[in-house]
Amino acid sequence: MYLGRIVAAGMSSSGLVSVLYRVSSRSFPNREAKLLEKGVAIVPKPGFEKDIFVNPYIAYNCLRMAGDWAVATNGSQTDPIAEKIASGMSPRDAFAISMLALDYEKDSYNTPRISAAANGRLKRIVLGIVRKDCLQIAEFDCVPGKLLYVSTYEHNSVGEEHSDRAFAAASAADACSHIMSGGVFAKFTNPVTAAAAVFKDGNFSSSVL
């Protein structure tokens, strides 16, 4: 099954609060996740830089830290969400304002914007999506070994029905591997690259794959 881009958040079986992002793509597979000082960016691989002139939505910051929160999204909403949370706004309001302002992507598929955030100290997560027909945002308590996720296609609603209950990552690198090919994610096609942040020893650390 092809789900497109996927955001996920939750807690590993060992108690590590995590937020994860996966690019799955049929049209623009020549992309990679790059570690930055404050997060992770999705960019075209060398030699494919001109792809951004074909589709301006394929390059963006996908992961940012905001104090005790880490934010992962499939587009340019990453930065405003993280900045609003860092300034003291509630994650729900930061999601709503940023996602409504940018709206779904105006490409040929009306691709939704999807977002996830996790708080390592509160052990809370937030998931959101803005589609052409609705905006959904919900908060959840973390449960050991469980991820909740939302994707741009097919599983494009926020709720308990889209979950993975085999999350046993011990590091951000493990989390990247998991969303690429572990648990329920193994059956979703066209994986390209991934990024993840895991809260450990009082801070979020990130990795890419």
- With respect to residue 202, please indicate whether it lies within any of the assigned structural domains: yes
Q: How confident is the model at residue 51 (pLDDT cuts 50, 70, 90)?
A: very high
Whole-number percent of the chain with pLDDT over 70 = 100
Q: Max Cα separation, the chain?
A: 44
Question: Cα separation of 108 and 86, whole Å?
Answer: 34
Residue 131 in any domain: the answer is: yes
pLDDT digits (tens, 9 = 90+) for 174-187: 999 999 999 999 99
Q: For 120-138, how does the pLDDT look when each residue is reduced to its tens digit (9 = 90+)?
A: 999 999 999 999 999 999 9
User: Once rounded to an integer, what is the mean pLDDT over residues 112-121?
Assistant: 98
| pLDDT tens-digit map of 134-169 | 999 999 999 999 999 999 999 999 999 999 999 999
Q: Which amino acid is at 11?
A: M
Angle value at C-alpha 145, between 142 and 147, nearest 5 degrees: 60
Range of the domain at 103: 6-208
In a domain, 84, yes or no: yes
Q: Give the 3-state secondary structure of residue 157.
A: coil
Please indicate, yes or no, if residue 1 is contained in any of the structural domains.
no
pLDDT value, residue 10: 98
Q: Is residue 53 part of a domain?
A: yes
Within a domain: 174 = yes
H or E segment and range at residue 135 = strand 135-141
Query: Where would I find the H helices in the chain?
Result: 51-54, 78-86, 91-102, 172-181
**27: domain CATH number?**
3.60.20.20
Give how many domains the chain has, as a whole number: 1
The gap between the terminal CA atoms of the chain, to the nearest Å, is 21
* Residue 140, in any domain of the structure: yes
Residue 167 lies in a domain: yes
pLDDT at 38: 86
Rg for the chain, CA atoms, rounded:
15
